[in-house]
């Protein structure tokens, strides 16, 4: 009897389930821990990812690959730390051409191979508040960068973009509100690499360069840098919603919080990504 039941169970067709995912879409929920400097803390995050592609209507052989991240919220709680970061939007749109070229207006015109895709990076309304900084806060109203991508992948799973960025930041140190401008004097980096099945994801983003305070131009620019690297691996899926282990490291040089502090952090988190179906 028992053998018959086991045989019947083994003979059953296994129900279908997702084994590949799209890390570029869905609602991300993240919870984990990290060390900020040497201080431990718990991290929580939420964001909505969307992406897509479409062929250009005006230029044959050209396609637009775009990835967006909306309603980003990150919070951190730990001994003496209560931090909140909110951002409305972050995304890129890369123009991929099958055969890149540069046309020189000589006579006759000269057509040179151009081994880079062009793209646009934007981040809008990023607010950062740290209770331990007192009353201070910072708000990056917008950051826009033109990206060059030497990978030139025809897939939205691979981006490697770098280029000059333009930004405006309001930083209130608790007493005085400062305007900070980055007039194409910083370098923006954006990297996103995914495995075919979407189980592995590597991402990195950051910027480094000089910012200027219009009220104190005579003091010159201030070098600031900020960057983040994440590596994710899907461990399991619950009802076909992937759950990933995420390792994360980040650093900031004269750019963290309202007080423009230096800091680094490293940690891990579990991330569930709802509706990440292909």
Shortest reach from residue 6's CB to another protein, in Å? 16
Shortest reach from residue 273's CB to another protein, in Å? 13
3 vs 17, beta carbon nearer another protein: 17
15 vs 80, beta carbon nearer another protein: 15
DSSP H or E stretch at residue 166:
strand 158-172
16 vs 214, beta carbon nearer another protein: 16
- The three state secondary structure string of 113-142 is ECCCEEEEEEEEEEEEEEHHHCCCEEEEEE
160 vs 237, beta carbon nearer another protein: 237
Q: How many residues can be counted in the chain?
A: 278
Shortest reach from residue 239's CB to another protein, in Å? 6
Cβ burial 174-206 (10 Å sphere, 16+ → b, else e): eeeebebbbeebbebbbbbbbeeebbebebbbb
- The three state secondary structure string of 181-239 is EEEEEEEEEEEEEECCCCCEEEEEEEEEEEEECHHHHHHCCEEEEEEEEEEEEEEEEEC
Shortest reach from residue 17's CB to another protein, in Å? 4
Shortest reach from residue 136's CB to another protein, in Å? 33
111 vs 233, beta carbon nearer another protein: 233
186 vs 237, beta carbon nearer another protein: 237
And the tokens for 6? 């086991």
Shortest reach from residue 234's CB to another protein, in Å? 5
- The three state secondary structure string of 42-98 is EEEEEEEEEEEEEECCCCCCEEEEEEEEEEEEEEEEECCEEEEEEEEEEEEEEEEEC
Shortest reach from residue 19's CB to another protein, in Å? 5
List residues binding another protein (CB under 8 A): 14-15, 17-19, 199, 234-240
Closest CA to 263 of 10, 28, 39, 95: 39
Shortest reach from residue 240's CB to another protein, in Å? 7
> How far is it, in rounded angstroms, from Cα 152 to Cα 95?
9
111 vs 277, beta carbon nearer another protein: 277
> How far is it, in rounded angstroms, from Cα 128 to Cα 66?
26
> How far is it, in rounded angstroms, from Cα 132 to Cα 81?
6
16 vs 80, beta carbon nearer another protein: 16
């Amino acid at each position: 009897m028992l053998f018959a039941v086991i045989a019947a169970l083994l003979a059953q067709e296994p129900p279908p389930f997702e084994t590949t995912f799209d890390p570029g879409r869905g609602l991300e929920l993240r919870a984990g821990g990290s060390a900020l400097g040497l201080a431990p803390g718990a991290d929580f995050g939420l964001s909505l990812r969307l992406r897509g592609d479409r062929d250009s209507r005006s230029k044959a052989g050209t396609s637009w690959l775009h990835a967006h991240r909306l309603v980003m919220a990150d919070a951190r709680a730990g001994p003496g730390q209560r931090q909140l970061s909110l951002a409305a939007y972050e995304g890129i749109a890369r123009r991929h051409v099958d055969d890149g070229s540069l046309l020189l207006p000589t006579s006759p015109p000269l057509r040179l191979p151009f081994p880079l895709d062009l793209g646009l990076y934007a981040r809008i309304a990023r607010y950062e508040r740290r209770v331990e900084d007192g009353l201070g806060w910072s708000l990056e109203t917008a950051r826009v960068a033109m990206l060059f991508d030497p990978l030139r992948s025809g897939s939205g799973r691979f981006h490697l973009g770098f280029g000059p960025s333009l930004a405006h930041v309001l930083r209130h140190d608790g007493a005085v509100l400062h305007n900070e401008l980055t007039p194409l004097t910083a370098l923006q980096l954006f990297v996103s690499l995914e495995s075919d099945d979407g189980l592995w994801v590597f991402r990195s983003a950051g910027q480094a360069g000089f910012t200027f305070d219009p009220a104190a131009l005579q003091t010159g620019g201030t070098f600031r840098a900020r960057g983040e690297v994440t590596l994710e691996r899907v461990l399991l899926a619950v009802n076909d919603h992937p759950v990933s282990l995420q390792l994360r490291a980040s650093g900031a040089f004269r750019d963290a919080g309202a007080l423009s502090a230096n800091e680094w952090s490293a940690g891990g988190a579990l991330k569930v990504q709802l509706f990440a179906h292909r």
